[in-house]
Structure 1
Amino acid sequence: MFSEKKEKQPQVLERNIIGKNTSIVGDILSDGDFRIDGKVEGTIKTTGRVVIGKTGYINGKVECNNADIEGKFSGELIVNSLLTLKATATILGDIVISKLSVEPGAEFNATCAMKGSVKELKNEQTKKQKTAS
């Protein structure tokens, strides 16, 4: 009878930039996007996008929704959606992703697990087992 419509507030994403001559050691937690042109040693956890510029370097752990890498990354990388490696990218470590795009010239020396395809395979096997009975 009396219905109240709550208006959703638009989500404002922050854009965080770590400059070329900046070095950070520690953990960073945010809902916004990051662009790293400097050096980060530690953990970055965000629901946004992480961009590592050509001069950027991360040594540690990154958890994000999307990532574009032109610089260097070493450590553990968890990307919920799309990881894009540009031609100048250098990746070392353990990677967990849903989708991967690699330009020719990128260095990719990592173990990689694609979580989206694992779910699909498990679902297909379960369906086959159910229909086989």
Structure 2
Amino acid sequence: MTMFGKRKQQQGKPEWQEPTASTPPLKETAASGDDKPASDTAKAPSAPAKPTPRPDPSAVLNRQPAPPVRPDQFRRNGGQRQPGHGVQPAESKQLTVGRDIEVSGEIRSCDRLVVEGKVEADLSDSRVLEVAASGAFKGSAIIDIAEIAGRFDGDLIVRERLYLRSTGQVNGTIRYRGLEIESGGRIGGTLVELSEEEAQGAGGRGEDAPSTASPTVSQPTPLHQPPKAGAGTSRD
């Protein structure tokens, strides 16, 4: 009986067989009896961390605000702003009289006078006079170039050319070297055309004309004058 029992136990055990090419080898299982393979239980390797991007130095510099200009630095520069800061220098020797502004007196050494308001003055030693359609000039003017689109009353001397626009009106004594009038422009008074010599000498800009008066010659004084008759003599 015992022999048959042992044989039954031996028959219940699986017989070992050599692995062949057709039969894959048996996978090793864990001691605990888990059927999952060891490769599944192992943790997957973590991906390497991405490097932190470094900021661009040029972009950081571009975001920096412009440093403010200190008042003491402005004084050290002689009260002049440095070029390239968006400040354009004003045109030299230009005077503009805006609308609803009235100016009276004497104006000299002005390269360009623009009249949009009212001016009552004597203008000399200047180059260009421009009277806008809304402007009015009253007085005298000695100028190189005049452009009248408004109203001029008085004495006007133009050394080079007078431009009278369609909305312009000139009254008085007008002396000019060249004249151009648009349709609609009006002139009232006396018109005198200047020659080239007269235009150059008008207003003291040209050379002074030679004097036609005869020169006066002083008589030479003798070194020893004879004593006058009846003059007393001093006694010792």
Q: Same fold (TM over 0.5)?
A: yes
> SS where residue 195 of structure 2 aligns?
helix
Whichever of the two has the greater Rg, that structure is 2
2:167 is aligned to 88
Task: Give the number of the structure with larger relative contact order, counting CA–CA contacts within 8 Å between residues 6 or more apart.
Answer: 1
Does 1:63 pair with 2:142? yes
Residues 50-129 of structure 1 mapped to structure 2, 5 A cutoff: 50-116=129-195
Does the Cα contact within 8 Å between 1:46 and 1:65 map onto a contact in 2?
A: no
1:110 positional shift = 2.0
Structure 2: where are the runs of 5+ without partners? Answer: 1-90, 199-236
Counterpart residue type for residue 83 of structure 1: L
Q: After superposition, where does 1:16-35 map in structure 2 within 5 Å? A: 16-35=95-114
CA deviation map 1:80-113 (0-9, x unaligned): 1000000000111000110000001011112111
Q: CA RMSD in A?
A: 1.7
CA distance in 2, matches of 1:80, 1:45: 12
CA offsets 1:19-63 (integer angstroms, 9 cap, x no match): 111101111112411100010112111331100000110111011
* TM-score for both structures, normalised by structure 2: 0.43
Is residue 95–residue 110 contact of structure 2 (8 Å, CA) maintained in 1? no
In 2 relative to 1, CA 57–113 (structure 1 residues): closer, same or farther, beyond 3 Å?
Answer: same
Does structure 2 conserve the Cα–Cα contact (< 8 Å) formed by 1:33 and 1:46? no
Q: Please give the alpha-carbon distance, in whole angstroms, between the structure 2 residues aligned to 1:63 and 1:118.
A: 15
Gap change, CA 1:88 and 1:80, over 3 Å in 2: same
Partner Cα distance (1:73, 1:21) in 2: 17
C-alpha distance in 2 between matches for 1:72 and 1:42: 14
Quote the Cα distance in structure 2 between the aligned partners of 1:38 and 1:107: 20
Contact 2:147 2:164 in 1 (8 A): yes
Distance in structure 1 (CA, Å) of the matches to 2:169 and 2:117: 15
TM-score by length of 1: 0.75
Q: Which amino acid aligns with 1:40?
A: V
Judging by fraction of residues, say which structure has more strand: 1
Q: CA deviation at 1:13?
A: 4.8
Structure-2 residue corresponding to 1:130:
none
1:15 is displaced (CA, Å) by 1.8
| Deviating more after overlay: 109-118 vs 36-45 | 109-118
